[in-house]
Amino acid sequence: MINRKNGNVEYPVNSEAPAQPLVITGGRVIDPINDIDGIYNIILDNGKVKAVCTDIPSEYFDVEILNAEGMWVLPGLVDMHVHLREPGREDKETIATGTQAAAAGGFTAVACMPNTNPVLDEESKIRYVIQRGEGCPCRIYPIGAITKSLEGEELTPFGEMVKTGAKAVSDDGKSVAKSNVMRNALNYSKSFNIPVICHSEESTLSYKGHMNEGLISTELGIRGIPVIAEDIAVSRDLLLAEYTGARVHIAHVSTAGSVRLIREAKSRGVKVTAETCPHYFTLTDKDVGMYDTNKKMNPPLRTDIDREAVIAGLADGTIDVVASDHAPHVSEEKDVEFDAAAFGVVGLETSLGVVLTALVHKGILTPAQMVERMSIAPNKILGLNGGTLKAGSVADITIVNPSVKWTVDLDGFFSKSRNTAFMGMELEGAAAYTILDGKVVYWRN
Amino acid sequence: MKLQIQHLLGLEGVSREDINLILDTADNFYGVLQRDIKVVPTLRGKTIVNLFYENSTRTRISFELAEKRLSANPLNFAASTSSASKGETLRDTIQNIEAMKIDMVVVRHSSAGVPYFLTKCTDAVIVNAGDGLHEHPTQALLDMMTIRQKLGRLEGLKVAIIGDIFHSRVARSNAWGMKTMGMDVVLCGPPTLLPQHPESLGVPVTDNVDEALEGADVVMLLRIQLERQSSAVFPSIREYRDRYGVDLDRLSKLKKDVVIMHPGPVNRGVELASNVADSGNSVILDQVTNGVAVRMAVLYLLGGGE
């Protein structure tokens, strides 16, 4: 079990020991798939959900009780877009520290991107990540590369990688530039019913850019990444998905144009799902301020028009998922001149708090819609079994304290890296307990 | 008199009082430069590092001369690389230099925001000698000094800046500085060399050269980089010269006493015809002379000289 305040990280979690029965009492259980939203008890036994009920059966009178009064009890949250940096850049993050950060952020599962070193572009590397994830406080589902070494030329063995446990493919970090290669990837993916996750970026337009192209980039003298670099690539990927009939998932949507294109494609029946990240619905290019490299990511922070469109897309379901794009970097890659700074921010430990503060407490998403965006949809897209508290399902549960107020502070992070865009931000709501396989793996003091 | 600013990072946001104080002080140093002995003891004992990450001959020489004429000790540091992956980080470099006990840093770098970044790394006074596409404040100050010298005032004058606006930190610093001084600035160039979102510069932007030149008291041409032809920015030198270059024919349609400026180096026969560059309207060499005086003023005022 890991815990923020006293720092007693017990790792690896002893996965061999059987889960003891546990009764979670008095919490507001929000389980949209089973049409449940109310005050219930949940009984966990043998790592599974035994029942969601108002009474406690007599055989559970003596088991351990977790009082969840005033809290929300949710199916375990899933962050389907994280970079755990292992193998290759264990100085930034490891699968161990990344999954601790995930558990502390309320996530019971993450899907990790393949742009490691070496790239996750064959079966043995997928197997390595899965093995490294054993005993970690959060499930880890690898995403395989679309093309070998992310070079955009030759397809990777989707079939072997999926058989080993990959749940999707992506060349995240860049687009597959050649449309014919992307077309083949989409067609080939259909045999495995996996989504192709698109980092949609027309690189000839974003070339040498370091922030959103707009008034602020003009003022700061930074070369811009225009919104059309994303819109054009999203447009292409949607058209290819429509033509091939394959499933695409548009990663980290940041522009009003992308939201519009995806909404329109969905209305035509294109098999598209989409995600955005907490920074795109809370921050804009103005927050770059005086060359703040912790506000530098790709795609970049956009304008208020885009931010509002992303919020509208989350509200109406055009955007299915909130994912963090957790991208840890060491300080020497961020504490440098803006142009030389690495793209990306950490997000696992702030994502839930930001969603609660900026979306749920503001009435943009209901708590049930938050569960959709952070649990049900990513489970469905990746073909996982979670997202439900139905009797018999695996007891992966996130218990949220929706009202706890806290300030984002680097000292509290389990992640190895410190490059947050939300430093000093006051948030309302956080994970109180994270339960994996019926065992409490994280609790917040 | 003291400046409100502690560093010269750019002209955006710098007050009219500060700009006037720098220009007045520069006028005094201009007097010093006319003497036989062009040296004053005001910064004696101060060490100034010229940290140049980009090639520059004239700006570096101008700063170095200004430092020597203030009796400071210049130290030249030329570096060819900036990225952390290729060597020492900028923070480490500046802190190593600072550890040798220096007072001021004059910095030129290809990345915008580096002068600001350095103020977070060191206690030394920072002077921006050009940062990426962002600002080149001493160039704009010497331009304003030169205009004031020739036309006796700044307020109300119309200035047309013509050329590669997108890549020009000179155009940005002038736009902000001249606007503060009540001048009427227009930026002009082919649409491919204008910022896509220029409104934050606070001055009008046009691709119509005749409109820009209409009623201009000052015309500033910017160097056009000939290699931009190959990146599909403009089709040919001939077409650029024809549409945006200033030759005698265009000069004849301007005010008689129009001031022709260029931050250098000039592509003769491209943005500026030779006979215009060498005409009585051209103040290009005055700009170079004034550059030393303005840099003396900036270093003196920021360096706490006496």
- CB distance A218–B197 less than 8 Å? yes
Band (A16; pLDDT cuts 50, 70, 90): low
The per-residue pLDDT for A11 is 47
Whether A182 has a pLDDT exceeding 90, the answer reads yes
Band (A4; pLDDT cuts 50, 70, 90): low
* Chain A residues with CB-CB distance to B197 below 8 A: 213-215, 217-218, 224
* Chain B residues with CB-CB distance to A339 below 8 A: 110-112, 132
**Fold (CATH) for B16-134+288-302:** Rossmann fold (3.40.50)
Which one is predicted more confidently, A298 or B306? A298
The per-residue pLDDT for A13 is 57
Whether B76 has a pLDDT exceeding 70, the answer reads yes
Percent of chain B with pLDDT over 70: 96
Which of A 340-359 lie inside 8 A of B, CB atoms?
340
Residue among A214, A333, A338 whose CB faces B197 most closely: A214
Band (A19; pLDDT cuts 50, 70, 90): confident
Q: Do the Cβ atoms of A108 and A77 come closer than 8 Å? A: yes
Minimal CA separation from A224 to chain B, in Å: 10
Model confidence over A349-386: pLDDT tens digits?
999 999 999 999 999 999 999 999 999 999 999 999 99
Q: Do the Cβ atoms of A214 and A285 come closer than 8 Å? A: yes
- CB distance A213–B89 less than 8 Å? no
Model confidence over A213-249: pLDDT tens digits?
999 999 999 999 999 999 999 999 999 999 999 999 9
Whether A8 has a pLDDT exceeding 90, the answer reads no
Whether A166 has a pLDDT exceeding 90, the answer reads yes
The per-residue pLDDT for B86 is 59
Round to whole Å and give the CA distance between B98 and B84: 19
Percent of chain B with pLDDT over 90: 89
- CB distance A221–B169 less than 8 Å? yes
The arithmetic mean of pLDDT across residues A300-325, rounded, is 98
Whether A12 has a pLDDT exceeding 80, the answer reads no
At position B48, the amino acid (one-letter code) is I
B137-284 placed in CATH 3.10.20.30 = no
The arithmetic mean of pLDDT across residues B180-188, rounded, is 98
**Fold (CATH) for A76-382:** TIM Barrel (3.20.20)
Using the Cβ of A335 and the Cβ atoms of chain B, whether some distance falls under 8 Å is answered with: yes
Whether B83 has a pLDDT exceeding 70, the answer reads no
The arithmetic mean of pLDDT across residues A269-292, rounded, is 98
Tell me which residue has tokens 């790239």: A119
Band (B80; pLDDT cuts 50, 70, 90): low
ipTM: 0.94
The per-residue pLDDT for B232 is 80
Round to whole Å and give the CA distance between B12 and B169: 12
Q: Do the Cβ atoms of A330 and A91 come closer than 8 Å? A: yes
* Chain B residues with CB-CB distance to A288 below 8 A: none
Architecture of domain A2-73+391-443 in this structure: Roll (2.30)
The per-residue pLDDT for B82 is 46
> Hey, where are the domains in chain A?
2-73+391-443, 76-382
Mean pLDDT of the residues in chain B: 94
Catalytic position from the list A237, A320, A325, A437:
A325
Whether B79 has a pLDDT exceeding 90, the answer reads no
The arithmetic mean of pLDDT across residues A155-163, rounded, is 98
Whether A114 has a pLDDT exceeding 60, the answer reads yes
Chain B residues bordering chain A (beta-carbon distance below 8 Å): 12, 82-84, 89-91, 109-114, 116-117, 131-135, 169, 172, 195-201
The arithmetic mean of pLDDT across residues B172-188, rounded, is 98
The arithmetic mean of pLDDT across residues B156-182, rounded, is 97
- CB distance B198–A333 less than 8 Å? no
* Chain A residues with CB-CB distance to B117 below 8 A: 291, 336-338
> What Cα–Cα distance (Å) separates residue A70 from each residue in A21, A40, A67, A124, A403?
22, 12, 9, 46, 9
The per-residue pLDDT for B239 is 94
Round to whole Å and give the CA distance between B220 and B207: 15
- CB distance A339–B111 less than 8 Å? yes
> What Cα–Cα distance (Å) separates residue A109 from each residue in A1, A360, A382, A418, B196?
16, 22, 11, 21, 42
The pair of three-digit structure tokens given for residue B246, joined into one six-digit string = 């200033």
Residue among A218, A333, A339 whose CB faces B195 most closely: A218
Model confidence over A380-411: pLDDT tens digits?
999 999 999 999 999 999 999 999 999 999 78
- Cβ–Cβ pairs < 8 A, chains A and B: 76
Reported in sequence order, the residue ranges of A101-202 that DSSP labels E, i.e. its strands, are: 107-112, 139-142, 169-170, 196-198
Minimal CA separation from B250 to chain A, in Å: 30
Model confidence over B196-241: pLDDT tens digits?
999 999 999 999 999 999 999 999 999 998 777 667 888 899 999 9
Using the Cβ of A333 and the Cβ atoms of chain B, whether some distance falls under 8 Å is answered with: yes
> Hey, where are the domains in chain B?
16-134+288-302, 137-284
Is A231 considered catalytic here?
A: no
Using the Cβ of A226 and the Cβ atoms of chain B, whether some distance falls under 8 Å is answered with: yes
The per-residue pLDDT for A214 is 98
Phi then psi for residue A46, to 5 deg, are 55, 35
Residues in chain A: 445
Residue among A219, A224, A337 whose CB faces B114 most closely: A337
In CATH terms, are B16-134+288-302 and B137-284 the same topology? yes
> What Cα–Cα distance (Å) separates residue A299 from each residue in A175, A345, B18?
12, 11, 39
Minimal CA separation from B248 to chain A, in Å: 34
